[in-house]
Chain A
Amino acid sequence: MEIFLTYLKVFAVGGLVCMLGQILINKTKMSSARILVLYMLLGVVLEVCGAFDYIKEFAGSGITIPITGFGSNVAKGALEGAKADGFLGAVAGGLRSVSAGLTVAIVCGFVFGLISRSRSKKM
């Protein structure tokens, strides 16, 4: 029962985050790059003002799987780096904390780009 409730919370919060994005798309005709940047910055702001951990406590992956989690990781890495290693840590910490994800994204994009054929002709 416990696990069901957890997943319900993840589903509700994650769905809500995506639905707010869809409202933005419908109302303002924003491109997906702008939406993603906006949500990423939202994650940064939430992390800096400390609200992100509370939402994460409640919703788990519902808030970390959307791109807000990426932004929060960046901000958290920068803050932790500043605390641990001084100025250099502050500069390097942001990318350090998301480097695994970025590497996977770029390597996968490169490999799949090499091996699959362009589909645009068919459409």
Chain B
Amino acid sequence: MLERKEYQKYVEDNSPKSPMTRTLFAAFVVGGIICCIGEGIGDIIKLIFEDMPEKEVAIWESCIMIFLGSFLTAIGVYDRLGRFAGGGSIIPITGFANSVTSPAIEYNREGVFFGICAKMFVIAGPIIVFSVAASFLVGLIGYFCV
């Protein structure tokens, strides 16, 4: 009979390890590249519309990135990238767009209402709820304390 601890050690030694260095490297490179693409889009917008205020540039930048993330999900590129990059493709705003578009495409044969529209928020729902709740809280703090 194996002791409990020995058994746990046995399981730990023999279970498949997630390749730490490889996934970290992939997340670093892909995440960095996505952020650089965003910065590049911002710079291009600044070149074309010279007198656009900084704030509007940032809004355009994130809107274009969201569109790109959504588009790449629709043509199937982003999910393949996600399998390679993990966190590198989840955490940028393109990953948010992916989390909206991907279930919408996945469930579209269940109908428009309960397929696309309802399943769209499977992952994005918690994010939106938490951000609205946080914004309400911050707004209260800003109103009463500052």
Contact = CB atoms under 8 A, between A and B. Distances in A.
Interface residues of A, number: 75
Nearest to A123: B79
Interface residues of B, number: 78
A12 to B, nearest CB: 7
B36 interface: yes
A75 to B, nearest CB: 5
A82 B36 contact: no
Contact of B74 (A66, A75, A112): A112
Given A82-B142, A82-B143, 13 more contacts: A12-B32, A14-B92, A15-B32, A18-B30, A18-B34, A18-B92, A19-B27, A25-B90, A26-B18, A81-B139, A98-B131, A101-B62, A105-B97
Interface of B: 18, 20, 23-24, 26-36, 38-40, 42-43, 58-59, 61-63, 65-67, 70-71, 73-76, 86-88, 90-97, 99-101, 104-109, 112, 115-117, 120, 122-124, 126-128, 130-132, 134-136, 138-143, 146
